[in-house]
Chain A
Amino acid sequence: MDTTTIGEIIRGDREVFPPYLYSAYRATIKRSPHLPLLEVPLTLTELTGPGPAISEITPEDADLTRNAGTGGEAIGQRIIVTGRVLDENGDPVPNTLVEVWQANAAGRYLHKRDTWPGPLDPNFLGIGRCLTNEEGVYRFLTIHPGAYPWKNDPNAWRPSHIHFSILGPSSRTRLITQMYFPGDPLHALDPIMNAVPEPYRSRMIATYDHSVTEPEWALGYRWDIVLRGPNATPFGERKENE
């Protein structure tokens, strides 16, 4: 791992964002651009974006323990994951789409390319979505995802994580990332996580929050997400405008 080649080509915040090439994560080797990114002025194209884009979101979409449509409940440690989507000024980003996906409690994805012998859970799809409210808050009820093996290097295991996709108010704020859980010994071994330099890696780790935990029900985790740039464009007013 000490001989990892770390590329110079980085989009966005050069200190915080991972480089395209991080050879310990082998899939980057043939997919990372070799030529420098072109710096250009931001235009209306980059400063605008699709907003919520998806019309029909139901409250059930945010409950991954029961949204499989089977009437049954997913197996696993029930958890609440909540936080705020903020801009760089710390202001909330309301009414933006947050999409999440994750492995089940055994570390298995419901996906044709996930074939390791972890059991599937018929009551768990591992997908959810919601819109942030006026305070920028998102909230999901789910189960703690398991770690799972992958073929990056011998005996490689990904730490437990939840994938997040956020549209944000513009093309420039588009973010896909992963949320990790505190205290996981696999963090130090994971090249995807470690492609982000310290001390910024810890921004991807949620905090256990006992005030989010609900008695006789679910453990609570809090994780705030900060998008690039100021949020000058409240989508909450869109419907009235059109």
Chain B
Amino acid sequence: MGKAPVTPTQTVGPFFHPCLLRPDAVITTLIKPETEGTRIRIEGRVLDGDGLPVDDAMVEIWQANHYGRYRHPLDQRPLPLDPTFIGFGRTGTDEEGRYWFETIKPGVVPFDDQQDQAPHILVMVFARGLLNHVVTRIYFEDEPANASDPILQRVPEERRGTLIARREEVDGSVVYRFDIRLQGEGETVFFDV
């Protein structure tokens, strides 16, 4: 336990858009033309316990670059940093609860000294009615490494599918579809991290 008193969370409420989603704070396109890696688009919806769209959510993502390196002082592994890629995205949902990001598929990152993790993207969802944000992960349907991913192995098998984005090809480009169900049937796995 630390010495300083941790500040409790509160809901983001309904009125965050002008601040958190001002034009220069929204990052739906994480890549530049020269960014290295396989282009992907992530699309999905945020849904409530009735399956209705959550039209006032904010979605943030965090991911490693093409080589599996995080742009962060804690990640000092001898892998290339891509100067054109931070790995952070932030957007709001629309009236249908939809969100999207244009990014690259992240590389493999370590779990510990022995094991790697399958490529994945960390996702946080904030909304009115969420007194604390929820944290989940996007994995990729066509990724063989999922079978041995140490985090996915800890997810009950019947719920693992909620973390796996479905691959689609739309007009020749790859789209991964990832819906986030806050509650009820098909409820997304959220992590206590």
Task: Choose from A38, A86, A170 the contact partner of B190 (Cβ within 8 Å).
Answer: A38
The yes or no answer to A219 lying at the interface (CB within 8 A) is no
Q: Which residues 1-56 in B have Cβ within 8 Å of A in the complex? A: 1-20, 22, 24-25, 27, 48-50, 52, 54, 56
Interface pair B7/A175, CB less than 8 Å apart: yes
Interface pair B8/A203, CB less than 8 Å apart: yes
B80 to chain A, nearest CB (A): 12
Contacts of B48 in A (CB 8 A): 30-31
- Per DSSP, chain B at the interface is loop
Over the window 60-91 of chain A, the binary record of Cβ atoms lying under 8 Å from chain B Cβ atoms (1 yes, 0 no) is 00000000000000000000000000111110
Q: A113-B15, A196-B8, A241-B73 are in contact. Are A50 and B190 (CB under 8 A)?
A: no
The yes or no answer to A141 lying at the interface (CB within 8 A) is no
Contacts of A176 in B (CB 8 A): 9-12, 126, 133
Interface pair A192/B24, CB less than 8 Å apart: no
Nearest residue (CB) in B for A46 is B193
Residues of B within 8 A of A (CB-CB), count: 78
Q: A18-B10, A30-B48, A48-B62 are in contact. Are A90 and B187 (CB under 8 A)?
A: no
Contacts of A228 in B (CB 8 A): 6
Q: A34-B187, A38-B155 are in contact. Are A16 and B6 (CB under 8 A)?
A: yes
Task: Choose from B5, B18, B150 the contact partner of A126 (Cβ within 8 Å).
Answer: B18
Q: Which residues 60-113 in B have Cβ within 8 Å of A in the complex? A: 60, 62, 64, 70-75, 81, 83, 86-88, 109-112
The yes or no answer to A43 lying at the interface (CB within 8 A) is yes
Contacts of B16 in A (CB 8 A): 101, 163, 165
Q: How large is the interface on A (under 10, 10 to 19, 20 to 34, 35 or more residues)?
A: 35 or more
The yes or no answer to A193 lying at the interface (CB within 8 A) is yes
Interface pair A17/B189, CB less than 8 Å apart: no
Contacts of A43 in B (CB 8 A): 109-111, 117, 151
Task: Please list the residues of chain B having a beta carbon within 8 angstroms of any beta carbon in chain A.
Answer: 1-20, 22, 24-25, 27, 48-50, 52, 54, 56, 60, 62, 64, 70-75, 81, 83, 86-88, 109-112, 117, 120, 122, 124, 126-135, 137, 150-151, 154-155, 159, 182-184, 187-193
- Other than the given A12-B132, A127-B18, A171-B124, 8 more pairs (CB < 8 A) read A10-B132, A43-B109, A43-B111, A44-B74, A45-B62, A50-B88, A86-B4, A171-B62
Nearest 5 A/B pairs, CB to CB: A88-B2, A27-B129, A50-B88, A101-B19, A48-B72
Task: Please list the residues of chain A having a beta carbon within 8 angstroms of any beta carbon in chain B.
Answer: 10-13, 16-20, 22, 25, 27-35, 37-51, 53-54, 56, 86-90, 99-101, 103, 109-111, 113-114, 125-129, 163, 165, 170-172, 174-178, 192-193, 195-196, 200-201, 203-204, 225-230, 232-235, 237-238, 241-242
